[in-house]
Chain A
Amino acid sequence: MHVRFRGELEQLRSVRLEFLPPYVEPETALRWIENGGRSE
Protein backbone atom coordinates (compact mmCIF):
# COMPACT_ATOMS: atom_id res chain seq x y z
CA MET A 1 0.00 0.00 0.00
CA HIS A 2 1.18 3.52 -0.62
CA VAL A 3 3.05 5.43 2.04
CA ARG A 4 0.50 8.25 2.47
CA PHE A 5 -2.09 5.65 3.37
CA ARG A 6 0.00 3.91 6.03
CA GLY A 7 -1.24 5.94 9.01
CA GLU A 8 -4.89 5.49 8.07
CA LEU A 9 -4.37 1.76 7.55
CA GLU A 10 -2.71 1.40 10.94
CA GLN A 11 -5.65 3.20 12.54
CA LEU A 12 -8.08 0.84 10.82
CA ARG A 13 -6.04 -2.14 12.00
CA SER A 14 -6.29 -0.88 15.56
CA VAL A 15 -10.10 -0.88 15.52
CA ARG A 16 -11.21 -3.49 18.04
CA LEU A 17 -13.53 -6.07 16.50
CA GLU A 18 -14.79 -8.63 19.03
CA PHE A 19 -14.35 -12.37 18.58
CA LEU A 20 -17.82 -13.07 19.95
CA PRO A 21 -20.62 -12.94 19.02
CA PRO A 22 -19.52 -14.35 15.68
CA TYR A 23 -20.60 -12.65 12.52
CA VAL A 24 -19.74 -13.14 8.89
CA GLU A 25 -19.09 -10.41 6.35
CA PRO A 26 -20.38 -9.16 4.05
CA GLU A 27 -23.60 -10.96 5.03
CA THR A 28 -24.12 -9.03 8.28
CA ALA A 29 -23.84 -5.68 6.54
CA LEU A 30 -26.10 -6.77 3.68
CA ARG A 31 -28.74 -8.14 6.05
CA TRP A 32 -28.69 -4.86 7.98
CA ILE A 33 -29.36 -2.96 4.75
CA GLU A 34 -32.11 -5.35 3.66
CA ASN A 35 -33.69 -4.98 7.10
CA GLY A 36 -34.01 -1.22 6.64
CA GLY A 37 -31.06 -0.36 8.87
CA ARG A 38 -32.26 -2.32 11.87
CA SER A 39 -30.40 -5.08 13.69
CA GLU A 40 -33.54 -6.87 14.90
Chain B
Amino acid sequence: MTELADLGVAELLEAYRSGSASPVEAVKSCLARIDRLDDRVNAVLTLTVERAVDAAKASAERWARGEARPLEGVPYGLKDIIATAGIRTTGGSAVYADWVPGSSAALVDRLEAAGAALLAKLYTFEFAGGANATTCNPWDLERTAAGSSSGSVAAVAARELPLTIGTDTGGSIAIPAAFAGVTGLKPTYGRVPRSGIMPLSWTLDHAGPITRSAEDAALALQVIAGWDAGDPRSGRAEVPDYTAGIDGGVDGLRIGVPTDWFFDVCDPEVAAATHEAARELERAGATVHEVALPSTRQVQLHAIELTLVYAEMSSLHSVTLDRLDEYGPEYQRLLARGQFVHAADYLHALRARHLVQLDFERAFEAVDAMLVPGCVCVAPRHDHMVAKIGDEELPLLDVISRTTAVFDIVGLPTITVPSGLDAQGLPMGVAVATRPYDEATCFRVAHAFQRLTGHHRQLPRLLEEDAAAERAPVALDRGVVEKPIVTATKDDIW
Protein backbone atom coordinates (compact mmCIF):
# COMPACT_ATOMS: atom_id res chain seq x y z
CA MET B 1 0.00 0.00 0.00
CA THR B 2 1.32 3.43 -0.89
CA GLU B 3 1.87 5.67 2.10
CA LEU B 4 2.29 9.43 2.03
CA ALA B 5 5.99 9.03 2.83
CA ASP B 6 6.31 7.16 -0.48
CA LEU B 7 5.12 10.17 -2.49
CA GLY B 8 7.41 12.71 -4.10
CA VAL B 9 7.00 16.47 -3.91
CA ALA B 10 4.73 16.87 -6.95
CA GLU B 11 2.62 13.87 -5.91
CA LEU B 12 2.20 15.22 -2.38
CA LEU B 13 1.17 18.65 -3.65
CA GLU B 14 -1.38 17.01 -5.94
CA ALA B 15 -2.73 14.94 -3.02
CA TYR B 16 -3.13 18.11 -0.92
CA ARG B 17 -4.74 19.92 -3.85
CA SER B 18 -7.27 17.16 -4.38
CA GLY B 19 -7.99 16.89 -0.67
CA SER B 20 -6.98 13.21 -0.51
CA ALA B 21 -4.22 13.94 2.02
CA SER B 22 -3.18 16.63 4.46
CA PRO B 23 0.25 18.00 5.37
CA VAL B 24 -0.12 16.79 8.97
CA GLU B 25 -0.74 13.25 7.73
CA ALA B 26 2.33 13.53 5.48
CA VAL B 27 4.55 14.67 8.35
CA LYS B 28 3.22 11.80 10.48
CA SER B 29 3.89 9.32 7.68
CA CYS B 30 7.48 10.54 7.22
CA LEU B 31 8.02 10.48 10.97
CA ALA B 32 6.69 6.93 11.18
CA ARG B 33 9.09 5.84 8.41
CA ILE B 34 11.97 7.53 10.24
CA ASP B 35 10.94 5.76 13.47
CA ARG B 36 10.91 2.38 11.71
CA LEU B 37 14.04 2.67 9.58
CA ASP B 38 16.42 5.36 10.72
CA ASP B 39 18.03 3.37 13.53
CA ARG B 40 19.54 1.32 10.69
CA VAL B 41 19.96 4.02 8.01
CA ASN B 42 21.19 6.81 10.32
CA ALA B 43 20.28 9.68 8.05
CA VAL B 44 18.68 11.84 10.74
CA LEU B 45 20.80 13.78 13.22
CA THR B 46 18.12 16.10 14.64
CA LEU B 47 14.33 15.73 14.48
CA THR B 48 12.25 18.91 14.63
CA VAL B 49 8.89 17.29 15.23
CA GLU B 50 6.99 20.10 16.90
CA ARG B 51 8.14 22.65 14.35
CA ALA B 52 7.14 20.38 11.46
CA VAL B 53 3.72 19.60 12.92
CA ASP B 54 3.01 23.29 13.61
CA ALA B 55 4.05 24.20 10.06
CA ALA B 56 1.94 21.37 8.63
CA LYS B 57 -1.13 22.53 10.58
CA ALA B 58 -0.68 26.04 9.25
CA SER B 59 -0.25 24.61 5.74
CA ALA B 60 -3.47 22.62 6.05
CA GLU B 61 -5.32 25.85 6.84
CA ARG B 62 -3.74 27.58 3.83
CA TRP B 63 -4.79 24.75 1.53
CA ALA B 64 -8.31 24.99 2.95
CA ARG B 65 -8.36 28.76 2.33
CA GLY B 66 -7.00 28.38 -1.22
CA GLU B 67 -3.78 30.20 -0.28
CA ALA B 68 -1.27 27.42 -0.79
CA ARG B 69 2.31 28.43 -1.55
CA PRO B 70 4.63 26.51 -3.94
CA LEU B 71 5.81 23.86 -1.44
CA GLU B 72 2.92 24.15 0.99
CA GLY B 73 3.10 21.36 3.56
CA VAL B 74 6.00 19.44 1.97
CA PRO B 75 8.20 17.88 4.68
CA TYR B 76 11.91 18.41 4.08
CA GLY B 77 15.34 17.98 5.61
CA LEU B 78 18.65 19.83 5.57
CA LYS B 79 22.25 18.76 5.58
CA ASP B 80 23.49 19.86 8.97
CA ILE B 81 25.94 22.43 7.65
CA ILE B 82 22.93 24.63 6.75
CA ALA B 83 22.04 27.11 9.49
CA THR B 84 18.62 26.97 11.11
CA ALA B 85 17.57 29.70 13.54
CA GLY B 86 17.00 28.25 17.00
CA ILE B 87 17.94 24.70 15.95
CA ARG B 88 21.34 23.14 16.58
CA THR B 89 23.56 23.22 13.49
CA THR B 90 26.63 21.08 14.05
CA GLY B 91 28.47 20.90 10.76
CA GLY B 92 28.83 17.24 11.70
CA SER B 93 31.64 18.30 14.00
CA ALA B 94 32.35 18.35 17.70
CA VAL B 95 33.70 21.87 17.13
CA TYR B 96 30.15 23.15 16.52
CA ALA B 97 28.30 20.44 18.49
CA ASP B 98 26.26 22.94 20.49
CA TRP B 99 25.95 25.82 18.04
CA VAL B 100 22.44 27.25 17.74
CA PRO B 101 22.35 29.91 14.99
CA GLY B 102 20.43 33.13 15.46
CA SER B 103 19.31 33.20 11.84
CA SER B 104 18.69 30.69 9.07
CA ALA B 105 20.46 30.22 5.76
CA ALA B 106 18.87 32.17 2.90
CA LEU B 107 17.63 29.00 1.21
CA VAL B 108 15.93 27.90 4.45
CA ASP B 109 14.09 31.22 4.66
CA ARG B 110 12.96 30.66 1.06
CA LEU B 111 11.77 27.11 1.73
CA GLU B 112 9.85 28.26 4.80
CA ALA B 113 8.32 31.17 2.89
CA ALA B 114 7.20 28.64 0.26
CA GLY B 115 5.41 26.59 2.92
CA ALA B 116 7.82 23.64 3.30
CA ALA B 117 7.96 22.01 6.75
CA LEU B 118 11.39 21.27 8.25
CA LEU B 119 11.33 17.82 9.87
CA ALA B 120 15.00 16.88 10.14
CA LYS B 121 18.61 18.00 10.10
CA LEU B 122 20.69 15.31 8.46
CA TYR B 123 24.06 13.66 8.92
CA THR B 124 26.97 15.08 6.94
CA PHE B 125 30.66 14.46 6.61
CA GLU B 126 32.41 16.80 9.03
CA PHE B 127 32.14 20.29 7.51
CA ALA B 128 31.26 18.56 4.21
CA GLY B 129 34.82 17.37 3.84
CA GLY B 130 35.84 14.94 6.56
CA ALA B 131 34.22 11.57 7.10
CA ASN B 132 31.04 10.00 8.45
CA ALA B 133 30.96 6.34 9.25
CA THR B 134 27.39 6.58 10.53
CA THR B 135 25.04 6.76 7.56
CA CYS B 136 24.26 3.59 5.62
CA ASN B 137 23.07 3.07 2.08
CA PRO B 138 19.39 2.04 2.11
CA TRP B 139 20.08 -0.29 -0.85
CA ASP B 140 22.52 -2.29 1.26
CA LEU B 141 23.11 -1.27 4.84
CA GLU B 142 26.60 -2.78 4.67
CA ARG B 143 27.51 -0.19 2.05
CA THR B 144 28.29 3.51 2.24
CA ALA B 145 25.83 6.20 1.26
CA ALA B 146 28.93 8.20 0.39
CA GLY B 147 28.85 11.91 1.02
CA SER B 148 29.32 14.43 2.05
CA SER B 149 25.52 14.83 1.81
CA SER B 150 25.14 11.35 3.32
CA GLY B 151 22.01 11.85 5.39
CA SER B 152 20.35 14.06 2.78
CA VAL B 153 20.59 11.33 0.17
CA ALA B 154 19.90 8.35 2.45
CA ALA B 155 16.74 10.01 3.83
CA VAL B 156 15.32 10.42 0.32
CA ALA B 157 16.36 6.90 -0.75
CA ALA B 158 14.73 5.37 2.35
CA ARG B 159 11.57 7.36 1.65
CA GLU B 160 11.90 9.13 4.98
CA LEU B 161 11.60 12.54 3.31
CA PRO B 162 10.54 13.62 -0.20
CA LEU B 163 12.96 16.56 -0.34
CA THR B 164 16.30 17.37 1.22
CA ILE B 165 19.00 19.93 0.56
CA GLY B 166 22.63 18.95 0.16
CA THR B 167 25.83 20.66 -0.91
CA ASP B 168 28.40 19.76 -3.54
CA THR B 169 32.04 20.83 -3.70
CA GLY B 170 33.60 17.90 -5.56
CA GLY B 171 30.58 15.62 -5.97
CA SER B 172 28.84 15.59 -2.59
CA ILE B 173 25.35 15.64 -4.11
CA ALA B 174 26.10 13.74 -7.32
CA ILE B 175 28.11 10.82 -5.91
CA PRO B 176 25.73 9.83 -3.09
CA ALA B 177 22.75 10.38 -5.40
CA ALA B 178 24.28 7.86 -7.83
CA PHE B 179 25.08 5.41 -5.01
CA ALA B 180 21.59 5.58 -3.50
CA GLY B 181 19.42 5.74 -6.62
CA VAL B 182 17.95 9.21 -6.13
CA THR B 183 17.87 12.46 -8.10
CA GLY B 184 20.40 15.13 -7.16
CA LEU B 185 20.77 18.57 -8.69
CA LYS B 186 24.01 20.51 -8.52
CA PRO B 187 22.97 23.89 -9.89
CA THR B 188 25.09 26.43 -11.71
CA TYR B 189 27.69 28.06 -9.45
CA GLY B 190 25.94 31.03 -7.84
CA ARG B 191 22.42 29.93 -8.80
CA VAL B 192 21.54 29.03 -5.18
CA PRO B 193 22.98 31.35 -2.52
CA ARG B 194 25.28 29.81 0.09
CA SER B 195 24.48 32.49 2.68
CA GLY B 196 24.26 30.75 6.06
CA ILE B 197 25.85 27.51 4.87
CA MET B 198 29.14 26.42 6.45
CA PRO B 199 31.72 26.65 3.65
CA LEU B 200 34.22 24.02 2.58
CA SER B 201 35.66 25.88 -0.44
CA TRP B 202 34.04 29.14 -1.53
CA THR B 203 35.33 28.66 -5.08
CA LEU B 204 33.63 25.29 -5.48
CA ASP B 205 30.69 25.12 -3.03
CA HIS B 206 27.17 24.66 -4.41
CA ALA B 207 23.83 23.87 -2.70
CA GLY B 208 21.01 21.94 -4.35
CA PRO B 209 17.96 19.72 -3.89
CA ILE B 210 17.87 15.95 -3.56
CA THR B 211 14.58 14.36 -4.52
CA ARG B 212 13.06 11.29 -6.16
CA SER B 213 12.52 12.86 -9.57
CA ALA B 214 13.69 15.64 -11.84
CA GLU B 215 10.24 17.24 -11.62
CA ASP B 216 10.54 17.43 -7.82
CA ALA B 217 14.02 18.92 -8.11
CA ALA B 218 12.65 21.58 -10.47
CA LEU B 219 9.93 22.50 -7.97
CA ALA B 220 12.53 22.84 -5.23
CA LEU B 221 15.05 24.83 -7.30
CA GLN B 222 12.25 27.22 -8.26
CA VAL B 223 12.03 28.20 -4.60
CA ILE B 224 15.68 28.30 -3.54
CA ALA B 225 17.29 29.82 -6.66
CA GLY B 226 18.04 33.51 -7.10
CA TRP B 227 20.32 36.31 -6.01
CA ASP B 228 20.97 36.97 -2.35
CA ALA B 229 22.98 39.82 -0.89
CA GLY B 230 24.54 37.51 1.70
CA ASP B 231 26.52 35.52 -0.89
CA PRO B 232 28.90 37.73 -2.90
CA ARG B 233 29.15 34.98 -5.55
CA SER B 234 25.39 34.74 -5.90
CA GLY B 235 24.33 35.12 -9.55
CA ARG B 236 21.94 37.84 -10.68
CA ALA B 237 20.45 35.93 -13.62
CA GLU B 238 16.66 35.85 -13.65
CA VAL B 239 15.09 32.64 -12.34
CA PRO B 240 13.04 31.06 -15.14
CA ASP B 241 9.99 28.83 -14.72
CA TYR B 242 11.69 25.45 -14.38
CA THR B 243 8.58 23.34 -14.87
CA ALA B 244 7.24 25.25 -17.90
CA GLY B 245 9.17 23.21 -20.48
CA ILE B 246 9.86 20.08 -18.47
CA ASP B 247 7.40 17.99 -20.49
CA GLY B 248 8.93 19.12 -23.78
CA GLY B 249 10.65 15.79 -24.42
CA VAL B 250 13.97 15.42 -26.17
CA ASP B 251 12.89 15.37 -29.81
CA GLY B 252 15.45 17.44 -31.72
CA LEU B 253 17.76 17.94 -28.73
CA ARG B 254 21.47 17.36 -29.37
CA ILE B 255 22.97 15.14 -26.67
CA GLY B 256 26.74 14.92 -26.34
CA VAL B 257 28.66 12.00 -24.88
CA PRO B 258 32.31 12.81 -24.11
CA THR B 259 34.90 10.52 -25.65
CA ASP B 260 37.57 11.21 -23.04
CA TRP B 261 38.19 11.52 -19.28
CA PHE B 262 34.69 10.54 -18.13
CA PHE B 263 35.09 6.97 -19.40
CA ASP B 264 38.87 6.61 -18.94
CA VAL B 265 38.35 5.15 -15.45
CA CYS B 266 34.79 3.88 -15.16
CA ASP B 267 33.19 0.59 -14.22
CA PRO B 268 32.04 -1.12 -17.45
CA GLU B 269 28.49 -1.61 -16.16
CA VAL B 270 28.21 2.10 -15.25
CA ALA B 271 29.65 3.09 -18.63
CA ALA B 272 27.26 0.75 -20.45
CA ALA B 273 24.29 2.17 -18.54
CA THR B 274 25.36 5.70 -19.53
CA HIS B 275 25.58 4.75 -23.21
CA GLU B 276 22.24 2.96 -22.94
CA ALA B 277 20.75 6.17 -21.50
CA ALA B 278 22.00 8.00 -24.60
CA ARG B 279 20.40 5.38 -26.86
CA GLU B 280 17.14 5.68 -24.89
CA LEU B 281 17.09 9.43 -25.54
CA GLU B 282 18.01 8.83 -29.19
CA ARG B 283 15.00 6.52 -29.59
CA ALA B 284 12.89 9.36 -28.17
CA GLY B 285 14.06 11.74 -30.89
CA ALA B 286 17.32 13.23 -29.64
CA THR B 287 20.46 13.11 -31.72
CA VAL B 288 23.56 11.77 -29.98
CA HIS B 289 27.04 13.11 -30.73
CA GLU B 290 30.53 12.36 -29.50
CA VAL B 291 32.18 15.42 -27.96
CA ALA B 292 35.84 16.01 -27.16
CA LEU B 293 37.06 17.77 -24.03
CA PRO B 294 40.85 17.47 -24.40
CA SER B 295 41.69 19.76 -21.50
CA THR B 296 40.04 17.38 -19.03
CA ARG B 297 42.92 14.95 -19.60
CA GLN B 298 45.57 17.65 -19.69
CA VAL B 299 45.02 19.93 -16.71
CA GLN B 300 44.80 17.31 -13.93
CA LEU B 301 41.34 18.09 -12.57
CA HIS B 302 41.96 16.26 -9.30
CA ALA B 303 44.91 18.55 -8.59
CA ILE B 304 42.79 21.65 -9.26
CA GLU B 305 40.07 20.35 -6.93
CA LEU B 306 42.40 19.41 -4.08
CA THR B 307 44.57 22.52 -4.32
CA LEU B 308 41.55 24.82 -4.11
CA VAL B 309 39.80 22.85 -1.37
CA TYR B 310 42.87 22.32 0.84
CA ALA B 311 43.89 25.97 0.68
CA GLU B 312 40.43 27.44 1.23
CA MET B 313 39.38 25.05 4.02
CA SER B 314 42.65 25.70 5.76
CA SER B 315 42.05 29.43 5.63
CA LEU B 316 38.45 29.03 6.78
CA HIS B 317 39.36 26.96 9.83
CA SER B 318 42.35 29.01 10.93
CA VAL B 319 40.10 30.62 13.52
CA THR B 320 39.56 27.31 15.35
CA LEU B 321 42.93 25.63 14.73
CA ASP B 322 43.63 25.93 18.44
CA ARG B 323 40.88 23.32 18.88
CA LEU B 324 42.41 20.92 16.37
CA ASP B 325 41.97 17.92 18.68
CA GLU B 326 38.18 18.37 18.53
CA TYR B 327 38.14 17.76 14.75
CA GLY B 328 37.82 14.22 13.45
CA PRO B 329 41.00 12.51 12.23
CA GLU B 330 40.12 12.81 8.53
CA TYR B 331 39.46 16.54 8.75
CA GLN B 332 42.67 16.99 10.74
CA ARG B 333 44.53 15.30 7.88
CA LEU B 334 42.92 17.61 5.33
CA LEU B 335 43.71 20.71 7.39
CA ALA B 336 47.32 19.62 7.73
CA ARG B 337 47.61 19.32 3.95
CA GLY B 338 46.21 22.81 3.56
CA GLN B 339 49.16 24.24 5.46
CA PHE B 340 51.47 23.27 2.59
CA VAL B 341 49.63 24.61 -0.46
CA HIS B 342 51.83 27.14 -2.22
CA ALA B 343 50.18 30.41 -3.20
CA ALA B 344 51.48 29.99 -6.77
CA ASP B 345 49.84 26.54 -7.02
CA TYR B 346 46.55 27.90 -5.73
CA LEU B 347 46.55 30.68 -8.32
CA HIS B 348 47.66 28.29 -11.07
CA ALA B 349 44.68 26.04 -10.21
CA LEU B 350 42.31 29.02 -10.45
CA ARG B 351 43.73 30.02 -13.84
CA ALA B 352 43.72 26.48 -15.21
CA ARG B 353 40.01 26.27 -14.39
CA HIS B 354 39.20 28.69 -17.18
CA LEU B 355 40.96 26.48 -19.75
CA VAL B 356 38.45 23.74 -18.94
CA GLN B 357 35.58 26.20 -19.16
CA LEU B 358 36.68 27.16 -22.68
CA ASP B 359 36.74 23.49 -23.64
CA PHE B 360 33.14 23.09 -22.50
CA GLU B 361 32.20 26.26 -24.38
CA ARG B 362 33.51 24.73 -27.62
CA ALA B 363 31.74 21.43 -26.94
CA PHE B 364 28.42 23.13 -26.23
CA GLU B 365 28.49 24.80 -29.65
CA ALA B 366 27.54 21.38 -31.05
CA VAL B 367 25.24 19.99 -28.33
CA ASP B 368 22.51 21.13 -25.96
CA ALA B 369 23.33 18.74 -23.11
CA MET B 370 25.92 16.13 -22.20
CA LEU B 371 25.53 12.71 -20.62
CA VAL B 372 28.27 11.40 -18.33
CA PRO B 373 28.47 8.66 -15.69
CA GLY B 374 26.98 9.91 -12.40
CA CYS B 375 29.85 8.25 -10.56
CA VAL B 376 32.55 5.89 -11.84
CA CYS B 377 31.49 2.96 -9.63
CA VAL B 378 28.72 1.70 -7.37
CA ALA B 379 28.68 2.04 -3.58
CA PRO B 380 31.45 0.10 -1.87
CA ARG B 381 31.10 -1.78 1.41
CA HIS B 382 31.93 0.03 4.64
CA ASP B 383 34.55 -2.61 5.38
CA HIS B 384 36.14 -2.50 1.92
CA MET B 385 36.21 1.09 0.72
CA VAL B 386 37.55 0.73 -2.80
CA ALA B 387 36.30 1.75 -6.22
CA LYS B 388 35.60 -1.43 -8.14
CA ILE B 389 36.27 -0.73 -11.82
CA GLY B 390 35.51 -3.99 -13.58
CA ASP B 391 37.86 -6.52 -12.01
CA GLU B 392 40.21 -3.86 -10.71
CA GLU B 393 40.05 -2.27 -7.27
CA LEU B 394 41.32 1.32 -7.00
CA PRO B 395 41.78 3.59 -3.96
CA LEU B 396 38.33 5.16 -3.59
CA LEU B 397 39.36 8.76 -3.01
CA ASP B 398 41.73 8.71 -6.01
CA VAL B 399 38.90 8.22 -8.51
CA ILE B 400 35.53 8.81 -6.81
CA SER B 401 35.11 12.40 -7.99
CA ARG B 402 36.41 11.94 -11.56
CA THR B 403 33.05 12.58 -13.24
CA THR B 404 31.72 15.10 -10.71
CA ALA B 405 34.39 17.54 -9.50
CA VAL B 406 34.92 18.86 -13.03
CA PHE B 407 31.45 20.40 -12.92
CA ASP B 408 32.17 22.11 -9.60
CA ILE B 409 35.39 23.42 -11.13
CA VAL B 410 33.72 24.89 -14.24
CA GLY B 411 30.44 25.80 -12.54
CA LEU B 412 28.07 23.99 -14.93
CA PRO B 413 24.77 22.53 -13.67
CA THR B 414 24.28 18.76 -13.54
CA ILE B 415 21.43 16.55 -12.53
CA THR B 416 22.24 13.00 -11.49
CA VAL B 417 19.51 10.38 -11.91
CA PRO B 418 19.36 6.59 -11.59
CA SER B 419 20.41 4.71 -14.73
CA GLY B 420 19.42 1.24 -13.51
CA LEU B 421 20.82 -1.46 -11.25
CA ASP B 422 24.07 -3.35 -11.75
CA ALA B 423 24.39 -7.15 -11.61
CA GLN B 424 24.54 -6.96 -7.81
CA GLY B 425 21.30 -4.98 -7.67
CA LEU B 426 23.01 -1.72 -6.71
CA PRO B 427 22.02 1.65 -8.20
CA MET B 428 24.09 3.29 -10.93
CA GLY B 429 23.77 6.94 -11.94
CA VAL B 430 23.94 9.05 -15.07
CA ALA B 431 24.34 12.82 -15.05
CA VAL B 432 23.01 15.43 -17.48
CA ALA B 433 25.15 18.56 -17.80
CA THR B 434 24.22 21.78 -19.59
CA ARG B 435 25.48 25.31 -20.07
CA PRO B 436 25.55 27.67 -17.08
CA TYR B 437 22.06 28.69 -15.94
CA ASP B 438 20.40 26.14 -18.22
CA GLU B 439 19.00 23.95 -15.46
CA ALA B 440 15.74 23.91 -17.44
CA THR B 441 17.37 21.67 -20.06
CA CYS B 442 18.81 19.44 -17.31
CA PHE B 443 15.28 18.97 -15.98
CA ARG B 444 13.78 18.45 -19.43
CA VAL B 445 16.25 15.70 -20.38
CA ALA B 446 16.19 14.01 -16.97
CA HIS B 447 12.39 14.12 -16.78
CA ALA B 448 12.09 12.59 -20.25
CA PHE B 449 14.58 9.87 -19.28
CA GLN B 450 12.68 9.11 -16.07
CA ARG B 451 9.37 8.88 -17.90
CA LEU B 452 10.96 6.55 -20.46
CA THR B 453 12.72 4.23 -18.02
CA GLY B 454 11.17 4.42 -14.56
CA HIS B 455 14.60 3.68 -13.02
CA HIS B 456 13.91 6.33 -10.38
CA ARG B 457 10.92 4.35 -9.12
CA GLN B 458 12.92 1.26 -8.16
CA LEU B 459 12.96 0.68 -4.41
CA PRO B 460 15.58 -0.68 -2.04
CA ARG B 461 14.78 -4.06 -0.46
CA LEU B 462 14.69 -2.25 2.87
CA LEU B 463 11.43 -0.63 1.80
CA GLU B 464 9.94 -3.91 0.64
CA GLU B 465 10.67 -5.25 4.13
CA ASP B 466 9.24 -2.10 5.67
CA ALA B 467 5.98 -2.59 3.83
CA ALA B 468 5.39 -5.70 5.93
CA ALA B 469 6.53 -4.17 9.22
CA GLU B 470 4.12 -3.52 12.06
CA ARG B 471 2.74 0.05 12.18
CA ALA B 472 3.08 1.61 15.62
CA PRO B 473 1.35 4.84 16.69
CA VAL B 474 3.42 7.95 15.93
CA ALA B 475 4.22 10.24 18.85
CA LEU B 476 4.03 13.90 17.85
CA ASP B 477 4.81 15.38 21.28
CA ARG B 478 8.57 15.14 20.91
CA GLY B 479 9.70 18.73 20.40
CA VAL B 480 13.30 18.51 19.16
CA VAL B 481 15.17 15.19 19.28
CA GLU B 482 18.96 15.49 19.02
CA LYS B 483 21.18 12.51 18.24
CA PRO B 484 24.92 12.68 18.99
CA ILE B 485 27.53 13.44 16.35
CA VAL B 486 29.61 10.38 15.60
CA THR B 487 33.06 11.31 14.37
CA ALA B 488 34.64 8.66 12.18
CA THR B 489 37.57 6.77 13.61
CA LYS B 490 41.04 7.04 12.18
CA ASP B 491 40.51 3.90 10.10
CA ASP B 492 37.30 5.08 8.47
CA ILE B 493 37.51 6.79 5.12
CA TRP B 494 33.81 7.42 4.83
Contact = CB atoms under 8 A, between A and B. Distances in A.
A13 B300 CA distance: 9
Given A1-B337, A9-B307, A37 B348 contact: no
A32 B361 contact: yes
Contacts of B435: 36-37
Contacts of A26: 203, 350, 353
B239 to A, nearest CB: 14
B189 interface: yes
A17 B352 contact: yes
Nearest to A34: B235
A4 B397 CA distance: 11
B345 A32 contact: no
A15 B350 contact: no
B348 A12 contact: yes
B350 A29 contact: yes
Interface residues of B, number: 43
Contacts of A29: 350, 353-354, 357, 410-411
B304 interface: yes
A20 interface: no
Contacts of B190: 30, 33-34
Interface string A7-30: 011011101010000010110111
B357 A15 contact: no
B99 interface: no
B337 A2 contact: yes
A11 B300 contact: yes
Given A23-B354, A25-B351, A33-B411, A12 B310 contact: no
A17 to B, nearest CB: 5
A23 B310 CA distance: 24
Given A29-B411, A33-B411, A37-B412, A15 B361 contact: no
B350 to A, nearest CB: 4
B302 A8 contact: yes
A23 B341 CA distance: 22
Contact of A15 (B188, B299, B437): B299
B355 A13 contact: no
B358 A15 contact: no
Given A4-B398, A8-B302, A30-B233, A36 B437 contact: yes
Contact of A28 (B189, B302, B354): B354
Contact of B354 (A8, A12, A25): A25
Given A33-B188, A37-B360, A12 B411 contact: no
A38 B352 CA distance: 17
Interface of B: 188-190, 203, 233, 235-237, 298-300, 302-304, 306-307, 310, 337, 340-341, 345, 347-355, 357-358, 360-361, 364, 398, 410-412, 435-438
8 contacts: A4-B398, A8-B302, A12-B300, A23-B351, A30-B189, A33-B357, A38-B361, A39-B358
Q: Name the 10 nearest CB pairs between A and B, nearest first.
A: A12-B303, A25-B350, A8-B303, A11-B300, A37-B435, A33-B411, A12-B300, A37-B436, A33-B436, A8-B300
Interface of A: 1-2, 4-5, 8-9, 11-13, 15, 17, 23, 25-26, 28-30, 32-39
Given A8-B306, A37-B360, 12 more contacts: A2-B337, A4-B398, A13-B348, A15-B355, A17-B355, A26-B350, A29-B357, A29-B411, A33-B357, A33-B411, A36-B435, A37-B364
